[in-house]
Amino acid sequence: MQEANFIYNLPFNDLLYRAQTVHRDNFDPNAIQISRLLSIKTGGCAEDCGYCSQSAHYPTGLKASKLMEVERVLTEARKAKESGATRYCMGAAWRNPKDRDMDSLVAMVEGVRALGMETCMTLGMLTSEQSARLADAGLDYYNHNLDTSERFYSEIITTRTFEDRLETLANVRDAGIKVCAGGILGMGETAEDRVSMLVTLANLPAAPESVPINMLIPIPGSKLANAEPIDPIEFVRTIALARILMPTSHVRLSAGRTDMSDELQALCFFAGANSIFVGDTLLTADNPGEDHDTALFRRLGLKPMELERSR
C-alpha cells in the first residue's frame, strides 16, 4: 500500500511515463477494446448503492422493468456486432438472480457467443452454483465492481458488505469465468481510498482481466446527487496506477465519458486505459455517441482491438 501511494503521488509526467511504458510492454498502445452494454432488467433493485439510479431506495424516477426476452437481447447483440463491438455486456438490476431466471440468462450467453462475440454479465451477487451454470454456458466475463475501498464502502452501500463483493468474485473465478472488477471515482472518497481499492484488486488471487474505472454520474434523487466532481488530474492518476499495478488487465474508461473532454480521454488512453463502452447509453446513463467516438479515435490514431477469444 505504501509503495502504491508513492507511485500515485509521483510527479505527473513521471507517473504517465511509467504507466505508458508498462502499457507498451503488454499491449498495442493504439488499440482499444470495444464493448457494448445492455440493461436486460432495469430498476427496482433492493440494494441501496448511493450512486445508482436503479436502487428502489431512492426517488430517481426510474421505472422498474422485467427481464428482457432472450430474442430481444440477441437482436441488440447483432446490432452491437455490426457497429464493431467485440464484447457484449448484459446487466440486470438485481441483488442477485433468482434460480427461475437462470434458464433465460444461459440462453442469452449461448446466443451471444454463437454470434462470435465475447460475453459479459453483471447480475449482482452469484452463488457458486449459479457461477458454474453461467460458466458451462460459456460466459467469458463477469462484472462485479468493488466500487471503492473497504474503509469507505459502508458510506456508499449498507445492504451488502465488502466481503460479499469478494465472495462473488471468488465464486466467479473458481468457476473459470474471467473477472471484470473496478470502481467509481468521485463519490467523496480520498486518494488513499482509490489506491486501496486498486491494491485490493491487484492482490486478488489473480488480477481482474478487465478493470472498469467509472467517473460518478450524479443521479438526481440518489444519495450522491450533490457529490463534488473528482479532479480530472486525480482521475488520470488513478487510471495510471491501475495500469501499473495490473499490467496485463484491460483498463476500461467507463461511465462518465460524456462529462470528459476529448483531451481528458486522450490523457486516460495515454495513461493506460485501453477499453471503452460504445453506444448512446450505459445501462441508464448517457454515453458519447458512436460518431463522436469514431471521430475521437481518428484524431488520436486509435483503432478497435481485434477479438481475442478468451475461453
The set of catalytic residues is 45, 49, 52, 89, 120, 180, 252
Q: From CA 123, how far away is CA 121, in angstroms rounded?
A: 6
DSSP string, 127-151: -HHHHHHHHHHT--EEE---BS-TT
The C-alpha angle 288, 275, 239, rounded to 5 degrees, equals 95
First to last CA, the chain: 33
Helix axes 290-300, 262-270, angle to 10 degrees: 60
d(CA 33, CA 294) in angstroms, rounded, equals: 13
Largest CA distance in the chain: 53
Distance CA 4, CA 242 (A): 10
CB under 8 Å to 13, separation ≥6 — which residues? none
Under 8 Å between Cβ of 259 and 215: yes
Residue with cell 448503492: 49
Cα gap 39→37, rounded to integer Å: 7
